[in-house]
């Protein structure tokens, strides 16, 4: 009997559970807080939603006309085209506009490349060509006005530096000898110790100031024309009114500046810039001082 019992298979007790079922139960234990997160449950139970979203977006792009020249599709296509153009060299872009001078997008791509390379003057030329081919495209006009504003800032800085240099170079009474001394009397005599070098340098500095302000007025006049085109497209844009006023003021066109400032206050009377605009209007409309006659 003992030997028979040795070969008898042991039966698992009634409450014993097979190992496979134990593993299965361990995997199906109570979910943790991570499993209860919304996105985890969505990933487990709603994977088909991802497929549906892909189909919806793809169909939406086709419906909106990506690459077909309409609506959002046209804007997206233009965005990707401009990003792709930045990888091209300036020579390639110039070759493209040379082959087809009426290709507006080619001129826009060239202007973008030149602007990124800090070649503002050349970018202005290319963008002016683009806005000639697309006269009512607000994005191109706004970008052109921004380039003009950049040049205006450069010329303002040049004028300020040149003016400071002129003031430093110009001889003053502080460093002149006393007129009661012998050297002072000689200095006062224009035929004796006339400082020709100082005079030449001062003249050159004043010429630099004049040239900088002339360039500032010229580029501001061009910016004024662009802002006037933008305002025709949207007369209710208060920001463009103040941009026009500043450009006209730098160009010396007081009449246009005053009208634009007043239009800005009418469109945006509670704007934070309103007090500064009112101050500018007072300065521009103030009567010029009259010289008093000597009796």
- Residue 245 lies inside a defined structural domain of this protein: yes
- Residue 174 lies inside a defined structural domain of this protein: yes
Cα angle vertex 123, ends 122, 126, to 5°?
90
SS3 content of the chain, % helix, strand, coil (to 5): 70, 0, 30
Q: Give the domain-ending residue among 44, 66, 85.
A: 85
Interval 110-146: pLDDT, tens: 999 999 999 999 999 999 999 999 999 999 999 999 9
The stretch 79-104 carries a mean pLDDT of 79
Check which CATH number belongs to the domain holding 242 and give it: 1.25.40.10
Q: Which phi and psi (to 5°) does residue 141 adopt?
A: -65, -40
Q: How many domains, the chain?
A: 2
**pLDDT confidence of residue 74:** 46
- Residue 111 lies inside a defined structural domain of this protein: no
**Number of Cβ within a 10 Å radius of residue 105:** 17
Q: Give the domain-ending residue among 85, 103, 128.
A: 85
For the entire predicted model, the pTM comes to: 0.61
* 69 lies in the same domain as 176: no
- Residue 131 lies inside a defined structural domain of this protein: no
pLDDT at 241 over 90: yes
- Residue 209 lies inside a defined structural domain of this protein: yes
* 174 lies in the same domain as 65: no
Q: Which domain holds residue 63?
A: 55-85
Q: Find out whether 248 and 259 touch, Cβ atoms under 8 Å.
A: no
- Which among 148, 147, 143, 119 has a CA at the least distance from the CA of 216? 148
pLDDT at 165 over 70: yes
Interval 197-220: pLDDT, tens: 567 767 887 888 889 899 999 999
The stretch 185-206 carries a mean pLDDT of 62
Confidence at 268, pLDDT banded by 50, 70, 90: very high
């Amino acid at each position: 009997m003992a030997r028979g019992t040795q070969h008898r298979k042991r039966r698992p007790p009634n409450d014993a559970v097979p190992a496979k079922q134990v593993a299965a139960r361990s995997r199906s234990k109570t979910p943790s807080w991570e499993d209860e997160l919304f996105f985890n449950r969505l990933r487990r139970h709603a994977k088909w939603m991802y497929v549906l979203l892909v189909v919806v977006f793809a169909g939406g792009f086709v419906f909106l006309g990506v690459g077909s020249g309409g609506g959002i599709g046209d804007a997206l296509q233009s965005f990707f085209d401009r990003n792709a153009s930045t990888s091209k060299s300036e020579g390639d872009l110039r070759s493209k506009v040379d082959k087809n001078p009426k290709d507006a997008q080619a001129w826009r791509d060239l202007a973008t490349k030149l602007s990124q390379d800090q070649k503002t003057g050349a970018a202005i030329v290319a963008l002016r060509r683009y806005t000639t081919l697309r006269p009512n495209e607000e994005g191109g006009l706004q970008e052109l006005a921004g380039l003009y504003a950049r040049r205006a800032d450069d010329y303002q800085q040049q004028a300020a530096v040149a003016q400071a240099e002129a003031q430093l170079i110009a001889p003053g009474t502080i460093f002149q000898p006393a007129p009661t001394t012998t050297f002072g009397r000689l200095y006062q005599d224009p035929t004796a110790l006339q400082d020709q070098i100082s005079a030449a340098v001062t003249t050159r500095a004043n010429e630099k100031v004049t040239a900088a302000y002339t360039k500032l007025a010229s580029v501001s006049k061009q910016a004024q024309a662009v802002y006037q085109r933008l305002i025709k497209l949207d007369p209710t844009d208060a920001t463009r009114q103040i941009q026009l006023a500043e450009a006209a003021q730098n160009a010396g066109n007081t009449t246009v500046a005053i009208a634009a400032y007043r239009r800005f206050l009418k469109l945006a009377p509670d704007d934070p810039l309103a007090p500064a605009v009112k101050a500018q209007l007072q300065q521009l409309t103030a009567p010029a001082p009259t010289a008093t006659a000597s009796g």
